[in-house]
Chains A and B, each alone.
Chain A
Amino acid sequence: MEDRHVSLAHGNGGSYMRELIETVFARHLSNPLLDVQADAAALPPMDGVIMITTDGFTVQPLEFPGGTIGSLAVHGTVNDLAVSGARPCYLTLNAFIEEGFDMAQLERIVASLASAARETNVAVVAGDTKVLPRGQGGGLYLAATGVGVRPPNLELGLDRVKPGDLILVSGPVGDHGVAVMLAREQFGLSGELLSDAASVLPLTQALVPLPGLHFMRDPTRGGLATVLHEICRATGLETRLNQAAVPVRDQVASVCEMLGYDPFYLACEGRVVAVVESPQASEALARLQALPQGCQAAIIGSVNHGRPHVVLETELGGERILDELEDDPLPRIC
């Protein structure tokens, strides 16, 4: 009877491994540039500035409402290129599989990875798999490298952020963080709330033509607040967030309220934070809102002269400094 679990033999370079690659990975990911026999992939010449990024994925659980670690690997990598102003073209993929991993789940994950790649129009051109002994690796880790091209004249970066700029977000924050947490802890509320994991390429491409666009970032780990901290640290300027203006889904807000989390620190996997010169902010907003993924986009804050703090203007007129994310924040109210 066929064993439907990954064994150490699948990683030893022999026939099991070839079979795993061919039946699972190559079958789903096949494209003209992917040659599983070759040591390296040859890419055609590209027009523009070549951008490259790399990322590792260790999300738990591996499958969550709205995505899997496979689709997340594609979206995460593609989004890093997209917010740099690039069009993603190619990916490479590393899979670290734990011995005993369910083959059917692996198939599902690779299939979702493949469909995410197809939808975002990127080809997986090289890859590798390793099998780790039981007890290591949390089931499956993925690592991906992405290659894209950016128009040569496009200048985006923290060094372009100026006082007076406005800050936009393309949609509600915290969906991914809450969806994954609920799924991980098996709270039984999963299914109602989906991760926002998606490619942000349509959003970034809508903004890129605006000369007043200064900076974009996808608020992943550490969420919106962490992106604002990066802006403060790099520019020495203050960022201000208008609490009432930041879109947060009711369900995310109520879970956060109950469990004591702050949605501004929770990860998103399909949102863009953009810093735009004030006169073009409404145009930028209109462009985001014209896209289905950006219908809840909002202008949420501003960059100002002042101490490099992230300041939250509360709905009651108070001001609160949002600190940098800590691993395991302790209550401070005595």
Chain B
Amino acid sequence: MNMKEEQITRPCKPEARRWLIGGRVQGVGFRPFVYRLAQRFRLTGHVQNTSGQVVIEAAGKKKLLDVFGVALLAEAPPLAQPEMVHVEKIPYLERDGFEILQSSDNSSGRIHIPPDYFLCDDCKREMQTPGDRRYRYPFINCTQCGPRYTLITKLPYDRPNTVMTSFELCSQCLREYEDPGDRRFHAEPVACPTCGPQLCLSAPEGRINGPAALTASVTALRRGEIVAVKGIGGYHLMCDARNETAIGQLRTNKHRPHKPLALMFPWCGDDGLAQVRDELEIDAQGQALLRAPARPIVLLRRRRDSMLPRSITPGIREIGVMLPYSPLHHLLLHELDKPVVATSGNVSGEPVLTANAEAETRLARVTRVFLHHNRPIARPADDPVVRVIAGKPRLVRVGRGVGPVEFDLPGLFVQPLLAVGGHMKNSIALGWNGRAILSPHIGDLDAPRSMAVFEQVISDLQRLYGAFPQAIVCDAHKGYASSRWADRQGLPLIPVWHHHAHASALAAEHSRELTWLTFTWDGVGLGEDNTLWGGEALLGRPGVWRRVARLCPFRLPGGERAGREPWRSAAALCWESGIEPPAMGIRLELLKKAWKKGLNSRVTTAGGRLFDGAASLLGLLRHASYEGQAGMYLENIADACDSESEVDVIDLPLFQSATGLLTADWKPLLPALLNEAIPVARRAMQFHLSLANSIMVQAQRIHASTPFDRVGLTGGVFQNKLLAELAVSQLTAAGFEAYLPERTPCNDGGIALGQLVEAAAGLEAGAHGG
């Protein structure tokens, strides 16, 4: 019998169907939406959360069921990202109405952990409406907004499985929570001033509870004090962004002399950006990014006429800016009516602090004013950071509102894998059943707190996603705290070379099948020949990378210190070239002897160290107080060069070894860097241009003998916008397609994903080969 005939013979007979819907459907108001939709079409049946998915059974007229099925995806609430998994006809159900059933916990589902959401417009309106029972309530939320990732302790996503379980709903909130017609129906963090979390200010003068705590915090900020403010994923350290003294105090207390500080602006004007526009250059892309649901920190150029103190980002023209995202931030910034510095409330390199008492102890050197609240934070999440490079927003740090980042990698991870990432800027990744997730940024694993959060995130994400790996992937560097941890777990260990992981992360984002020539330029990472790589070009694809080019190796004296002391790179580059380093106010005799003997002086090809050396030779800095400082200064000064077209490119000679490996010699750059007759900005530009040109020339040389499909640029060095954009435009002009990471940081924050993909590809190749 065909369909037409069926329609004719049984025109209006009610029937029943079952839909299985996956994607992001939990914690986003999807079930009440289904409920209201069913009401609209007068369907009977039910909707239910299983672990990660939603099951809908509905009965009604066939035509209505058809429309309902389409509307399930088409009209879904803004935060939901539903995917139709399965539809089937089921026997007709005799039901009175449509209900939302209790969640059932079967763990076979395709689980999505929602990130934390910004305050929605509806809630913002309520919060600003005098007389509303949530007027000025800093914890207002609904199914379309509020924390998720930092709140969930277990799945399915239900109130008892969140940190809200300790707050008993008042009768009014309970009514909203249980009313399928209400926009707070099953909004798990729902709260009001009667039953929900409260603010508490802790200051030397004493404690203030409730709304007055907010007013007191604003007063403290106005007075130029530093206030630690507990937000969604942890504490911020805030101070008045226009108060130089306050910023100086924050820098001194936090031992953070130069590292750029992020700003939070009040939501102002029709689109919220009125105050941002006064200080920063912002185009349509920047506007969209600032207002994106993740509410990331966006790196924007300071306007020439900006009155913001230079000390916010010493030596750099870009400032990281974000808009308020939680109701608390909205209230605070609105009342203050000017931007604040909002930097992570942590001890340098550690995950942001989340617990009230611990914050007071660990931040005691920075401030004694704390705006706490009593909603617990299940796990830390720093603010995400985005920079537009080569026309696209690139994640520099995965954080609140973004992570866990999901990737569909069909065919991979028949065996579930855990990847533990790098040592600095650590994040971890899980891969199972054709999917992978990358965790939010955790931190540098030197500190006990970083290790504790690292372990917690690993165990939480395994539990939440129901993915329990039977093997662990780590960096080949055995000294990384992540590698040491992996080694202790008693599971099979799959070490992956650092730069293979960088290259594979990029391939995982764009294509795992095509052949790539990927430039992996970073600080240092352990390479296959046991030297420290960081200026390589790798040819192939995940599982089969081969080094085809590199920067000329040099010995770098002083071990780990070299990463923090660019003058060491400068000295090493000079010595390697047979040039006496310029006077740097440092006695070099002893070090030169050590360097000659190879004492604690590793051989490296690191591009990052080449940038360090160049910045130091240009006199920009000798010591770096934060990672990447030298590269940022160098980029910034080059940016000031207004005669780019007149700058000559210096050719970096390419030597080919017997095995075919190309070596690009950076030595001709040195005399140019040291030529004081030329302005510093121009020399810095020449350095960038010449390296970008070398990338293009290397690609051409390699392509001539071994064709490839695409050029990749990844590794921390390509956070340098100028270098990345020059390289992309040169490559494009030469006819290549060039790619940079978008959804994973090009720095070590992205390598966990690459480790997963590289190991899985290797396992696959092994399985096929043997």
Task: State the A residues within 8 Å of B (CB).
Answer: 185, 187-189, 255, 257-261, 306-307, 309, 311, 316-321, 323, 326, 329-334
Tell me whether A255 and B479 are in contact (CB under 8 A). no
Tell me whether B446 and A320 are in contact (CB under 8 A). yes
Tell me whether B477 and A332 are in contact (CB under 8 A). yes
Of A306, A326, A332, which one neighbours B424 at CB under 8 angstroms?
A: A332
Assess whether B486 is interfacial by the CB under 8 Å rule: no
Assess whether B481 is interfacial by the CB under 8 Å rule: yes
Tell me whether A259 and B448 are in contact (CB under 8 A). no
Tell me whether B524 and A334 are in contact (CB under 8 A). yes
Task: State the B residues within 8 Å of A (CB).
Answer: 255, 347-350, 362, 365, 422-425, 445-449, 451-452, 477-481, 484, 498, 522-526, 532, 534, 556-564, 590-591, 593-594, 597, 599-600, 602, 608, 627, 716, 747-748
- A332 to B751, alpha carbons, bound, how many Å? 14
- Given A185-B594, A319-B447; A331-B602 close (CB under 8 Å): yes
Give the chain B neighbours of A185 by CB distance below 8 A: 593-594, 597, 599
- A189 to B590, alpha carbons, bound, how many Å? 9
Give the chain A neighbours of B748 by CB distance below 8 A: 334
- A187 to B593, alpha carbons, bound, how many Å? 7
- A331 to B526, alpha carbons, bound, how many Å? 9
Q: A326-B479, A333-B563, A334-B498 are in contact. List 11 more A-B contacts (CB 8 A).
A: A258-B591, A261-B559, A317-B255, A317-B365, A321-B481, A323-B479, A331-B602, A332-B479, A332-B480, A333-B423, A333-B627
User: Would you give the shortest CB distance from B325 to chain A, in whole angstroms?
Assistant: 28
Of A307, A318, A333, which one neighbours B347 at CB under 8 angstroms?
A: A318
Q: What are 17 A-B contacts with C-beta separation under 8 Å?
A: A187-B594, A258-B558, A258-B590, A259-B557, A260-B562, A317-B347, A318-B347, A318-B350, A318-B447, A321-B451, A323-B481, A323-B484, A331-B532, A331-B560, A332-B424, A334-B422, A334-B748
Closest residue of chain B to A316 (Cβ to Cβ) is B255
Tell me whether B479 and A260 are in contact (CB under 8 A). no
Tell me whether B599 and A321 are in contact (CB under 8 A). no
User: Would you give the shortest CB distance from B572 to chain A, in whole angstroms?
Assistant: 12
Of B350, B451, B600, B716, which one neighbours A259 at CB under 8 angstroms?
A: B600
Tell me whether B559 and A331 are in contact (CB under 8 A). yes
- A261 to B600, alpha carbons, bound, how many Å? 8
Give the chain A neighbours of B445 by CB distance below 8 A: 321
Closest residue of chain B to A324 (Cβ to Cβ) is B484
- A106 to B280, alpha carbons, bound, how many Å? 76
Closest residue of chain B to A182 (Cβ to Cβ) is B590
- Given A330-B602, A332-B479; A321-B365 close (CB under 8 Å): no
- A329 to B478, alpha carbons, bound, how many Å? 9
Of B448, B480, B557, which one neighbours A311 at CB under 8 angstroms?
A: B448
- A187 to B562, alpha carbons, bound, how many Å? 21
- Given A259-B599, A334-B524; A321-B560 close (CB under 8 Å): no
Of B365, B449, B523, B608, which one neighbours A319 at CB under 8 angstroms?
A: B449
Closest residue of chain A to B595 (Cβ to Cβ) is A259
Of A261, A319, A333, which one neighbours B564 at CB under 8 angstroms?
A: A333
Tell me whether B593 and A333 are in contact (CB under 8 A). no
Give the chain B neighbours of A188 by CB distance below 8 A: 593
Going nearest first, the 7 A-B pairs with the smallest beta carbon separation are A333-B563, A260-B558, A260-B559, A334-B523, A260-B561, A331-B560, A332-B423
- A228 to B669, alpha carbons, bound, how many Å? 47
Tell me whether A321 and B448 are in contact (CB under 8 A). yes
Give the chain B neighbours of A255 by CB distance below 8 A: 590
Closest residue of chain B to A256 (Cβ to Cβ) is B561
- A16 to B631, alpha carbons, bound, how many Å? 68
Tell me whether A333 and B590 are in contact (CB under 8 A). no
Q: Is the interface of A mostly helix, strand, loop or mixed?
A: loop
Give the chain A neighbours of B448 by CB distance below 8 A: 306-307, 309, 311, 319, 321
Give the chain B neighbours of A260 by CB distance below 8 A: 557-562, 600
Of A257, A316, A317, A329, which one neighbours B479 at CB under 8 angstroms?
A: A329
Give the chain B neighbours of A189 by CB distance below 8 A: 590
User: Would you give the shortest CB distance from B87 to chain A, in whole angstroms?
Assistant: 48
- A260 to B348, alpha carbons, bound, how many Å? 21
User: Would you give the shortest CB distance from A319 to chain B, in whole angstroms?
Assistant: 5
Of A259, A307, A321, which one neighbours B558 at CB under 8 angstroms?
A: A259
Tell me whether A333 and B524 are in contact (CB under 8 A). yes
Closest residue of chain A to B363 (Cβ to Cβ) is A317
User: Would you give the shortest CB distance from B583 to chain A, in whole angstroms?
Assistant: 17
Among A255, A321, A330, the one with the most B-chain Cβ atoms within 10 Å of its Cβ is A330
Closest residue of chain B to A307 (Cβ to Cβ) is B448
User: Would you give the shortest CB distance from A223 to chain B, in whole angstroms?
Assistant: 16
- A307 to B556, alpha carbons, bound, how many Å? 35
User: Would you give the shortest CB distance from B249 to chain A, in whole angstroms?
Assistant: 16
Closest residue of chain B to A311 (Cβ to Cβ) is B448
- A313 to B225, alpha carbons, bound, how many Å? 27
Closest residue of chain B to A255 (Cβ to Cβ) is B590
- A187 to B255, alpha carbons, bound, how many Å? 35
User: Would you give the shortest CB distance from A188 to chain B, in whole angstroms?
Assistant: 8
- A55 to B160, alpha carbons, bound, how many Å? 62
- A317 to B349, alpha carbons, bound, how many Å? 12
User: Would you give the shortest CB distance from A134 to chain B, in whole angstroms?
Assistant: 25
Tell me whether A318 and B627 are in contact (CB under 8 A). no
User: Would you give the shortest CB distance from A77 to chain B, in whole angstroms?
Assistant: 30
User: Would you give the shortest CB distance from A22 to chain B, in whole angstroms?
Assistant: 41
Of B348, B350, B560, B602, which one neighbours A333 at CB under 8 angstroms?
A: B560
Tell me whether B594 and A331 are in contact (CB under 8 A). no
Tell me whether A331 and B447 are in contact (CB under 8 A). no
Of A261, A316, A317, A330, which one neighbours B526 at CB under 8 angstroms?
A: A330
Among A261, A318, A333, the one with the most B-chain Cβ atoms within 10 Å of its Cβ is A333
Among A188, A260, A261, the one with the most B-chain Cβ atoms within 10 Å of its Cβ is A260
- A318 to B449, alpha carbons, bound, how many Å? 10
- A257 to B559, alpha carbons, bound, how many Å? 10
User: Would you give the shortest CB distance from A261 to chain B, in whole angstroms?
Assistant: 7
User: Would you give the shortest CB distance from B598 to chain A, in whole angstroms?
Assistant: 10
- A156 to B449, alpha carbons, bound, how many Å? 33
- A261 to B562, alpha carbons, bound, how many Å? 12
Give the chain A neighbours of B451 by CB distance below 8 A: 307, 309, 321
- A126 to B242, alpha carbons, bound, how many Å? 79
- A323 to B478, alpha carbons, bound, how many Å? 11
Give the chain A neighbours of B716 by CB distance below 8 A: 334
- A180 to B264, alpha carbons, bound, how many Å? 54
Give the chain A neighbours of B522 by CB distance below 8 A: 334
- A32 to B448, alpha carbons, bound, how many Å? 57
Give the chain A neighbours of B423 by CB distance below 8 A: 332-334
Give the chain B neighbours of A258 by CB distance below 8 A: 558, 590-591, 594
Tell me whether B557 and A331 are in contact (CB under 8 A). no
- A111 to B556, alpha carbons, bound, how many Å? 42
Tell me whether B590 and A320 are in contact (CB under 8 A). no
Tell me whether B365 and A333 are in contact (CB under 8 A). no
Give the chain A neighbours of B560 by CB distance below 8 A: 260, 329, 331-333
Tell me whether B747 and A334 are in contact (CB under 8 A). yes
- A326 to B477, alpha carbons, bound, how many Å? 12
Give the chain A neighbours of B597 by CB distance below 8 A: 185
- Given A185-B599, A317-B347, A319-B449; A329-B523 close (CB under 8 Å): no
Give the chain A neighbours of B362 by CB distance below 8 A: 317
Give the chain B neighbours of A332 by CB distance below 8 A: 423-424, 477, 479-480, 560
Give the chain B neighbours of A257 by CB distance below 8 A: 561
Closest residue of chain A to B502 (Cβ to Cβ) is A334
User: Would you give the shortest CB distance from B632 to chain A, in whole angstroms?
Assistant: 16
Closest residue of chain A to B531 (Cβ to Cβ) is A330
- A189 to B563, alpha carbons, bound, how many Å? 26
Give the chain A neighbours of B480 by CB distance below 8 A: 332
- A188 to B589, alpha carbons, bound, how many Å? 10
User: Would you give the shortest CB distance from A267 to chain B, in whole angstroms?
Assistant: 16
- A317 to B424, alpha carbons, bound, how many Å? 19
Give the chain A neighbours of B348 by CB distance below 8 A: 316, 318
Tell me whether B600 and A334 are in contact (CB under 8 A). no
Closest residue of chain A to B568 (Cβ to Cβ) is A260
Among B478, B593, B597, the one with the most A-chain Cβ atoms within 10 Å of its Cβ is B593
Give the chain A neighbours of B556 by CB distance below 8 A: 331
- Given A185-B599, A259-B599; A330-B593 close (CB under 8 Å): no
